[in-house]
Structure formats: C-alpha cells, structure tokens
Structure 1
Amino acid sequence: MESKNKIFTVLLQLCLFAVVIAEDPYLFYDWKVTYGDVSPLGVATKGILINGEFPGPKINCTSNNNIYVNVFNELDEPLLFTWNGIQQRKNSWQDGLPATNCPIPPGKNWTYKFQVCAFHDPWRVGECKIHGGWVIFGWVSQVKDQIGSFFYFPTTGLQRAGGGMGMMQVHSRDLIPVPFDRPADEFAVLVGDWYNKGHKTLKSILDSGRSIGFPDGVHINGKFGKVGGGSPPMFTVEKGKTYRYRVCNVGMRLSVNFRIQGHDLKLVEMEGSHTVQNVYDSLDLHVGQCMSVLITADQAPADYHFVVSSRFTKKALSTVAVIRYSGSKGSSDSGAIPPPPPENSRGIAWSINQFRSFRWNLTASAARPNPQGSYHYGKINITRTIKVVNARYQVNGKLRFGINGVSHVDGETPLKLAEYFGVGDKVFKYDVMKDEPTGQDEQKASLAPNVVNATFRNFVEIVFENHERTIQTWHLDGYAFFAVAVEPGRWSPEKRKNYNLEDAVSRHTIQVYPNSWAAVMTTLDNAGLWNLRSEMRERAYLGQQFYFSVLSPARSLRDEYNILPDQPLCGIVKGLPLPMPYSGA
C-alpha cells in the first residue's frame, strides 16, 4: 500500500510539473488612450497618445507569452486596436476590427487577451487529471513559437492618422537558437508618412466623397529631421558593437526606402520569419511591413544619419534621424547622405529585384508555418485560386475603393458576432464577391459587407492584380502566407512556373507594384473571421477589404475558442443569450 502511494505521489508531482511548464508567462499592460498635441512635421495637431506617448508604449515579449492589454478609452469616440501580424490562433475575438469586435465606447475600458504564438503543435502536454487513483496525462493542441517584429494601431475611422500605434517585439525563447549573435541593443523604428490635418478632419474628407490627397511629409518615431538641423541623437551606439533595428512602415499611404549613412544593412528577419542574411545598401519598406536589420558600428566615432525617403511618387519626401557614436565629436566625414535607389522615383525594376533576393532561412531553428504537415509548401495541391483586383469607383457621386466589384461596408453589428449568434443572414450574405473578377467589376461596385466563405484547412492561392498606376500593399490577419512571386503585367496560370516554391519568405504583408501582380499561398487552418485588407488606410476605410469566414465543421475548442464572457455586445446581438459553447479538445 505504501509503495502504491509513493507511485501515486511521484506521478502527481510529475503531473503538476507538466502543468507548470505548460503555463506560459503573462504580461499585463494598462493603457490610457487620450488626445494630445503631436507635431511630427513641426505643425501641432491633435493626436492620439497612449499613456501620454507617441509613438505608443513598446510591447516587448517572448514567444508564447500571454498578453493582457487593458485599454481605457478617454477619447470622445469609439476605439479599437489590432495587432498587425500577430497570428492569434483560434481567436479572432481579439482581432480588434469593426467586423470582429464591438468598439470600446468613450469613457469605458476593455482588456484584450491574446497569446503571441502561431502554429499548431499537437504533441505538447497540456493538462493532467486525477481519476480513480491514476494520473491521466491529457494531450491537447497547443501552438509553436511566433517571433519577429510587428506593430499595433487603432482601427476605428482614420485614427491611425492621429497616432496610437507602437512596436511589438517578440523574442525567441532561450531554448530556441537564433541564427545570429545577440545584439548589444535593439531599437524600435516606426517610420511612415504623415498628414498635418487631424484624423477627424481626414475622416470627414473621406465621408464627403473626396480623397485625403498626398501626405505632408514622413517621420521617424514621430519626429522630422533635416541634415544639419541640429536634431538630438535618436540612437546611441558604441564602436565595434552590433545593433538590431526593427523597422516598421506605419504610414497611411507611401512606400519608403531606408538606409544608414556609411553603414551596411544585414537583413535578418521579416514579419516573423528569419531570412537569409543578405547585405543591402538600402531597403524598400511598404505600408504595413516590418523588417529587422543588423548594423555594426564599424566607422569612426561621429554622428551618422538614418535616412527615410518616399518611393514611387512624383514628389519626393524625406527625413533623417541621428545615430551618435559614444564619444562622437560631430557630423560624419564619411561622405554625403546616401541617395535613394539608382532609378527614377517611379521605376519599379530595382525594387522587384530586391524582393526576389529575399529568401526564407530554412536552417533557422525558430518556428515555421507547417501547412498540412509539410514544410514543402510547393508540393501541396492548390484547392482554390482567388484573384483580387483593386479598383477606384464613384458610387452615388462619392469616392469608394473595392475588390472585384464589391466595396466593403461595416454595420452596427460586427460580422463575427452575427455569425456566432446565428443571425448572420440578417446582417450579411456570403460570397457577394467573385473569385474571378470580370472587366465590368472594375467599372461598377456594389456596397455590401464582403465575406468570403472559406473551407477549413484548404490550401489557397491568392493573386493580387493591380491595374492602377499607384502601388498597393495588402495584409492578411490571422495567417502568414508564402510570398511566392511579384512581377509586372497580368497574371495567368502559366505564370506559376515563375513561383518560388522552395524558400519564399513566410510573411503577412505583400506589395503589388503599379500594373503588376503578386501571388501568395497559405493554408486556411485558423478558424475564425479574418480580414484581408489594403494597408492604405484611405482605401481600407472606403471599402478595399474583405473577410475570410473560416468555420470548423467540428465546432470544437480544438479549432476555435469560445467568446469570452466579458466580450462587449452591440447591434442586434446585444442582449441575446450566449450560444451553446464549443466543447472538446
């Protein structure tokens, strides 16, 4: 009897240990969101601050951390945040878009709860149960690590034009090797265009049926600098040490190029994927994209310039920030400020070639997406092809943007809530948008909630075809996709022979050059309602987006989480009893 009790005690201790190691750390944040004066270009305007800061506080975490962000809305308008690039498995409840969440009303607060993680791992110990004197180990579907550089921003109206954005840095756990030595320090760099008009004014311009036009300038971390302008240093380094710069384009419209005077850029990570470590003089960064570069302070101690300039525009915009070496005695003698890429501002050939040089680091030990059990995504059969053609429209005399003849509109009831409560037919119709557009779809648009009914775990190909003269950028929430090709001209099935089917970078944002196309591939294995949108906020606000409805036939907790008890309800679902929860793992 004593021996049996000892065995039971040991098993119980092992079980409790398994529970402890299965529980990932929690990080808690309190954000007070207010208005405040900001002046990125030297012109004061009413911006959006988080805890008095612009840009907002940095979320610095480790993969698999549980993040709790308690948002107190002290604005006079509704508020939502989204976590650009964070792949919230089974949890579109926290995506923070008008079609997935009720906004936080003025004067109220709500807590976002999500885990920075990505891909399913069915072989991790998840729980232990004691039953009939025996310890039963329960195996549940958990997730693998997500690492990389991301950012958050407000999604209500045109609030992103007022600020409210910040960096999210997700580090690898200590047990997972990183394919480069630990840098001496890391710098968060948020760059992008800026409008001196306030976000409410910009929204009213769009609501009146007009475009907000060309931005007034570009900024680096909310500041504008000129060469020789006497700006204080934004980054301080020591000679001989290597630093990681995480750079995100959080602007509204413009692609940019960034470079550092007298220093090479070693690309090591892009939107959650380690890359082959090529060295560049400068890098193009399109709206919504993030990348990490390593910079070695190997020059004479002096002040050097971090340069950001606009791309693919008739009018050039630029700004600089100062990188100061410890012991610097002034400006650098290493030559002039590095120029933009060697082609006219409208040319795309240089940038396309740079895109083709990006390769996924297949030898890195960090997490990688694992569609249908295989890293060899090029050998998986495509089950569906969706061609996305963006267009500009006039509807009832007002400017609209859309996809394949449909311009998305949001209503009072978030689409995800309507679907979950079984009243979706009162709010929207599935598949109002065709997978293959016609020429007429570029001439005329209908206004409707744009929801594409997707098959759970299908491997899909999405082709973005841009017939306009301006560059486009597209983002997919809830997933990473393989960016397999970008080319000028029109797409046809024969173009698949040009795809990179071996080591295309797994990412979540892709650019499409003027009169060009881009192709991506992904497995729709993350149940929920997930947004595919233009990252140009003017275009997204005026309808250039849609949602994938990815429903699991099993309706099981293995595939999707239940709604949280404190989830705000609005529209026609307010006051309705909660549906029967999903169960089982």
Structure 2
Amino acid sequence: MSSKKIISVALVMCLWAGTLAEDPYLFFEWKVEYGNISPLGVPQQGILINGQFPGPMINCTSNNNIVVNVFNHLDEPFLLTWSGVQQRKNSWQDGTLGTMCPIMPGRNYTYKFQVKDQIGSYFYYPTTALHKAAGGMGMLRIQSRELIPVPFDTPAEEFDVLLGDWYNKNHKALKATLDGGRSIGLPDGIQINGNSGKVGDADAKPIFTMEASKTYRYRVCNVGLRTSVNFRFQGHSMKLVEVEGSHTVQNEYDSLDLHVGQCLSVLVTADQEPKDYYLVASSRFSKKQLQSVVIINYANGKAPASPELPPPPPNNTVGVAWSINQFRSFRWNLTSSAARPNPQGSYHYGKINITRTLKLANSRYQVGGKLKFGINGVSHVDGKTPLKLVEYFGVAEKVFQYNLVKDEVSPKEENKVTEAPSVVNATFRNFVEIIFENEEKSIQTWHLDGHSFFGVAVEAGKWTPEKRKNYNLLDAVSRHTIQVYPKSWAAVLTTLDNAGMWSLRSMMQERAYLGQQLYLSVLSPERSLRDEYSLPETQQLCGIIQNLPKPAPYV
C-alpha cells in the first residue's frame, strides 16, 4: 500500500473514531399542560410536565447532549429556561424571550444543548408570562464523569428539594395584577416539593427516607418568586459540598440561607435516633413570616417528629450580618478535580486585569401610574421578535438601540426611566467587573445566563473603588447568581467568553416581568463556528424576521 493511501486510511479512521467518541445523548419528551395542584392545601390551576409537579428530573453527566421535545398544551405561548446551565456558543436554546420565539399553543419545540464542562445542581422553569407562579419547574442534575474524582464519598442516595414561596392566586390573576400596574404583594406560604405542612399534622407523609448511619446528598433549590428562605434539618447538621456548580470547602452548618434562584448541595448523615424528623423552611427578610415543614423519616423508625423545631436565624439587621457572614464562609474548593466553567478565568481570576466595570442599580418607578422596575434608568420591554434573531438577521436597528443602559448612572438621571428593549454591547472575552447596587429596603437576587462569575464581595453601604481591597481574589465561589442585601452592594468578576445574547436579570419574577433585566450581546468578531453556533435549522422564527432570507451560516 502506498504512503498516500496509508495516510488517507488513517485519516478516515481518526474521523470515524471521533464520531464514535461523541458525548452521549439523553432524550426526553415532555407534555406541558394545566392540572390541579394544591401546594398550600388550596386547589388551583397549575402547570404540569408529564403530569408532574415538580416536573421530571434530568439526571445527566458533564458534557452530555440533552434533547428535550416540549409539547405545549397550554392556552398561552410557553418557554423553558435552564437556569445556570452554560450553553456554550448556544444562546439560541436559552429559553428567554430575548433569544427565542415562544412555543405557541398546540405546537412543540425540541431543545438541543450540551452541558459542557459543568457539574452541579440546577433547575429549569418557565420564563413566559408569570408561568413560574404555576409550576412547570424541575431539577437538573449534572454529575461528574467517572474518571473525575469527587471530593466526598458517594452518598447512599441523592434527594432533590425544590422549595420557595407560593401564591394561592391563579398565575393569570397575578399577571393581570402586574399588567394593571400593581404589585402582586406578599406570598401566602412556602412549598417544599409541592407540599407544605404544619407541626403535628397527623396526615403528613414523609417525602424522603434515610437508613441509619448512611449519608445522603440533598440538592436544594429556591424556585420561588421573591422570597429568600432559610432551611434546616431537625436534629441534623449539614455539610456544604457544592454551590451552583462549584465544589466548596466542606464547612458544617445548622441552617443555610438560600436566595431566589440559587441551588446548593449538602450532605446529611443519618446519625440520630431512628424516627421522623422535620425539614423546615422559613422566609427571610420579609415582613410576613412564613414557615413550612415536611417529614423525613428513618427506615424502621416509628416515633413521630418532635414538635420542637430548630430556630431560624435573626430576621433583622443582625440577621443580615449573619447572612453576609455565611456568604463569606462559602469558599471554592481549589483542590478538587471537576469540570470548571469559564476556563480563561477559572484558576487565577484575581490576577486578571479588569477591562470594564458595570455599576448596575435596581430601581422602581411609577410610569403613568403603573409600577415598573429598571436598571440604571431603563425598564426592559420584550418585543414580538427576539433580540438575538434581529441581531443575527442584521435588522437590530429596527427593534432596539444598543447601550441605553450606561456603565454607571449619573445622579441627574436617577429618577428618569426609559421603557425599551435593553441590550448592552459587550466585548468578547473581556474580563468584566459588575457591581450590583441596592438602595432599596428589600433584598435582591441577580442571575447571568451563559456564564459563571466569581462572587468576590457582598457588603453593606455604597461601593467605591477602594472597596476592591476587600475582594476575595483567591477562592470566591464560581456561580451564576448573587444576592444583594438591603442598602448594600455585591461585586462579581467574569470573563465574557461565551458568544451569544445572554440575559442578566432579577430573579424576583415580579421585577423581571416589569423590566428589571437586560441582555448582554457578546459578539465574536470572527462570527465563526469556533465561537458560536449558527442559527439551528429547526429554530422557530417569528415577528419581523419570519419571512426574511436566512443569513449564511457560520463556518
């Protein structure tokens, strides 16, 4: 055989082997429909996925390809987002109204994305209307690959806990309230995996069972609309092992604050008397104190849970200081092996020069007598055509203007508000500092799609450049949400290395719906497949680009 033929055969074999080595695919088919639920004991219309609330769990492994075919049987357009899942080069599948056309009633759409270089605990939820107030959410686990050691022994079992505030009003009634210019007000209670209970409820059934002496992993997410919660296990301590996709230094806690949109994992060892125990969740930093319990029992344990519950942390200014100190105790486990997102900033982020600082202040306004929220004087408005699509088709100027949100709002503009689609032009691969400032009396939670960032500081008062000396530049947790306490600020650092159009928004659903969000347009100068995927062939088109010729795909 000639040398040329040998080379050709070798090349074909390499390509064939590469095809066989493609990461595994997981396929799901989901039917989204209305159904009766009663998380607080009051029957109401909920949103079920395959008849379930919470919805089906996705259990996958780092680098798996996920394919979810969603059939919309509601009477309204519908979208799901995959909160915290960094869809590398693929904002087309992000599931927000700025990136995708919604799935119309009676239609279906197939999401296709890869959980690239990630591990950890996440959840999915609806972004359309106020559908999150009716359900439609579920857990998404990303396991480490077998060859990558995890910094703790394999637990006996993993349990998913989706908890958060809940309203007894129908989601359509809540949306009508917001559309009418009023706040939806305080929630009615707290649900835990679609249940709520009181101490001593004779009809309550356990939601999880543990065997004595074994250790279990609890993945816990706050899927509520507006309320921070504190959760704790009666008679058991918790060892924190993961926060939003990052292994942490394994400190022990009696209780943990969890803010809206955040997820974490704890290990709980069944080392107490075999009987029933309560998992307790209570509201934080809210005028109306809410609490709910569910039962966790030991196998073969027959005694009921004690009526004496572990106390919550303080709920005043002392409680804020307590919560800030807890945030500071969360440290990235630098010795663990794991998939690490944002590779350019993952190891020595404290030594990278900041190229841009964005100071973002949340604000509430009255516009024509109606309640609105905004960022630096701009209240975002969703249009009929997704912002990502008009940018890709080259007609962005017909829909939005870049950079209405300035890097810092001037004092003269603090009380002015512009209602418009809000897109900030960002430079690909820049290392950016974002300061979230909160002058209000309520706590805030912020989330960035498509990226992880390092939460380097949370402090009371006002931010100044001198505050940088207080940053944790060594082992801050890489995460995708950050809380900002009343009259306080938070600082995060991130590398914008994921090309696409990405949502930066309040995780308080009322605020996001009424304008407290923006999109970061992270464009690659090369416009190549190396940096971003082309428009998928099956992508839904709507609005002004529906009948336009498709641009040439990236190469």
> What TM bracket, shorter-length normalisation?
over 0.9
Helix, strand or coil for the counterpart of 1:30?
strand
Distance change >3 Å, CA 346–CA 6, structure 1 → 2:
same
Residue 65 of structure 2 is aligned to residue 66 of structure 1 = yes
**CA distance, structure 2, for counterparts of residue 471 and residue 10 of structure 1:** 60
Question: Which residue is 1:18 aligned to?
Answer: 18
CA contact under 8 A between 1:534 and 1:544: conserved in structure 2? yes
Q: Which residue of 2 aligns with 1:259?
A: 232
Which of 387, 400, 405 is the matching residue for 2:359?
387
- CA shift for structure 1 position 344: 3.8
Once residues 87 and 70 of structure 2 are traced to their aligned partners in structure 1, the CA distance between those partners, rounded to angstroms, is 19
Contact 1:268 1:277 in 2 (8 A): yes
**Paired position in structure 1 for 2:492:** 520
| Matched residue type, 2:453 | F
Which residue of structure 1 aligns with residue 252 of structure 2?
Answer: 279
User: Where does 1:185-264 land on structure 2 (aligned, <5 Å)?
Assistant: 185-230=157-202, 231-264=204-237
Match of 2:296 among 323, 327, 338: 323
Q: What corresponds to 2:431 in structure 1?
A: 459
Asked if structure 1 preserves the Cα contact closer than 8 Å seen for 2:160 and 2:219, the reply is yes
In 1, distance between residues paired with 2:413 and 2:45? 39
Q: What's the secondary structure of 1:417's corresponding residue?
A: helix
TM-score using structure 1 length: 0.93
What is the alpha-carbon distance in structure 2 between the residues aligned to residue 182 and residue 228 of structure 1? Answer: 34
Tell me if 1:293 matches 2:292: no
C-alpha separation between the residues in 2 aligned to 1:582 and 1:302? Answer: 60
Note the alpha carbon deviations across 1:371-413, whole angstroms, 9 max, x for none: 5366110110000000010011001110000010000001111
> Aligned runs of 1:479-498 on 2, under 5 Å?
479-498=451-470
Aligned counterparts of 2:346 and 2:319: Cα–Cα separation in 1: 38
Partner residue, 1:469: 441
- The 2-side partners of 1:426 and 1:477 are apart by 25
| Alignment-mate amino acid for residue 19 of structure 1 | T
Residue 31 (structure 2) aligns with: 32
For the residues of structure 2 that align with 1:164 and 1:478, how far apart are their CA atoms?
Answer: 21
How far apart in 2 are the matches of 1:86 and 1:78? 23
- 1:305-320 → structure 2 map (5 Å cutoff): 305-320=278-293
Distance 1:425 1:11, change over 3 A: closer
Shift in alpha-carbon separation, 1:415–1:62, aligned structure 2, 3 A: same
SS in structure 2 opposite 1:581? coil
The 3-state SS of whatever aligns with 2:385 is: coil
- Given the superposition, is the C-alpha separation of residues 450 and 8 from structure 1 closer, same or farther in structure 2, using an over 3 Å criterion? closer
Aligned twin of 1:268: 241
Given that 2:320 and 2:485 are in contact with CA atoms closer than 8 Å, whether structure 1 keeps it comes out as yes
Alignment partner, residue 522 of structure 2: 550
Query: For the residues of structure 1 that align with 2:470 and 2:189, how far apart are their CA atoms?
Result: 37
2:536 corresponds to which of 553, 561, 564: 564
Give the alignment partner of residue 419 of structure 2, picking from 419, 435, 447. 447
Cα distance in 2, alignment partners of residues 64 and 360 from structure 1:
22
Q: Distance in 2 between matches of 1:283 and 1:456?
A: 36
Counterpart of 1:105? Answer: 104
Helix, strand or coil for the counterpart of 1:61? strand
Q: 1:434: which partner in 2?
A: 406
Contact 1:78–1:104 (CA under 8 A) maintained in structure 2:
yes
Q: Is the 8 A contact 1:311 1:345 kept in 2?
A: no
User: What is residue 83 of structure 1 aligned with on the other side?
Assistant: 82
Aligned to 1:358: 330
Within a 5 Å distance, the mapping from 1:150-189 to structure 2 comes to: 150-189=122-161
Residue type of the alignment partner of 2:44: T
**What is the one-letter code of the residue matched to 2:238?**
L
How many Å separate the matches in 2 of 1:483 and 1:431?
24
8 Å Cα contact 2:279/2:294 also seen in 1: yes
Preserved CA contact (<8 Å) 1:59 1:168: yes
Structure 1 position 346, deviation (Å): 7.5
Distance 2:470 2:516 in 1: 28
Aligned residues between the structures: 554
Partner amino acid for 1:187? F
CA 41–320 in structure 1, closer or farther in 2 if over 3 Å, else same: same
How many Å apart are 1:444 and its aligned residue?
A: 2.2
- Note the C-alpha offset of 1:438: 2.0
1:369, 1:375 within 8 Å by CA — same for their partners in 2?
no
How far does the alpha carbon of each residue in 1:527-549 deviate from its partner, in whole angstroms, 9 at most, with x for none? 00000000000000000000000
Any conservation in 1 of the 2:118–2:341 contact (CA below 8 Å)? no
Tell me, yes or no, if structure 1 residue 44 matches structure 2 residue 64.
no
Distance 2:136 2:345 in 1: 38
Write the distance in 2 (CA, Å) between the matches of 1:292 and 1:94.
26
Q: Secondary structure at the match of 1:562?
A: coil
Instruction: Tell me the secondary structure at the aligned position of residue 319 of structure 2.
Output: coil
Distance in 1 of aligned mates of 2:422 and 2:243: 29
Counterpart secondary structure, 2:327: helix
Whether 2:395 is the aligned partner of 1:423: answer yes
Amino acid at match of 1:259: R
Pairwise CA distance, 1:331: 1.7
Contact 1:245–1:292 at 8 Å: present in 2 too?
A: yes
Offset at residue 370 of structure 1 (A): 4.6
For 2:317 and 2:299, the matched residues in 1 are separated by: 36
Deviation at 1:6, TM superposition (A): 7.1
Alpha-carbon distance between aligned partners in 2 of 1:196 and 1:15, rounded to the nearest angstrom: 56
How far does residue 525 in structure 1 lie from its aligned partner after superposition?
Answer: 0.8
**Paired residues of 1:104 and 1:110 also in contact (CA < 8 A):** yes
Tell me, in whole angstroms, the C-alpha distance in 2 between the residues paired with 1:532 and 1:484. 18
1:172-227 per-position Cα deviation (integer Å, ceiling 9, x unaligned): 11011100111000001000000000111000000000000000000100101111
Determine the C-alpha separation between the residues in 1 that align with 2:76 and 2:154: 43
Gaps of 5+ in 1: 118-144
2:374 aligns with: 402
The corresponding residue for 2:507 is 535
- Residue 175 of structure 2 aligns to a residue in which SS? helix
| CA displacement at 1:294 relative to structure 2 | 0.3
> Is the partner of 2:357 in helix, strand or coil?
strand
Paired residue secondary structure (2:328): helix
Q: Deviations over 1:297-333 (max 9, x none)?
A: 0011000010000001122101011111000112245
Residue by residue over 1:115-145, the C-alpha shift from the partner in whole angstroms, topping out at 9 and shown as x without a partner, is 011xxxxxxxxxxxxxxxxxxxxxxxxxxx2
Give the conservation status (yes or no) of the 8 Å contact 1:406–1:450. yes
3-state SS in 1 of match to 2:153: coil
Q: Give the Cα–Cα distance (whole angstroms) in 1 for the partners of residues 368 and 197 of structure 2.
A: 43
Matched position secondary structure for 1:522? strand
Q: Counterpart in 2 of 1:137?
A: none
Provide, for residues 154-180 of structure 1, a one-character-per-residue CA deviation record: whole Å limited to 9, x for no partner: 110100001000000000110111001
**Counterpart secondary structure, 1:46:** strand
Counterpart residue number, 1:147: 119
Q: Aligned-pair distance for 1:20?
A: 1.6
CA drift at 1:362:
0.5
Task: Measure, in 2, the Cα distance between the counterparts of 1:254 and 1:103.
Answer: 27
Q: Within 2, Cα distance between the matches of 1:397 and 1:431?
A: 27
Question: What secondary structure sits across from 1:180 in the alignment?
Answer: coil
Higher alpha-carbon deviation: 7-16 or 348-357: 7-16
- 1:312–1:346 CA contact under 8 A, matched in 2: no
C-alpha contact 1:311 1:346 (8 A) present in aligned 2: no
Contact 1:371 1:377 in 2 (8 A): no
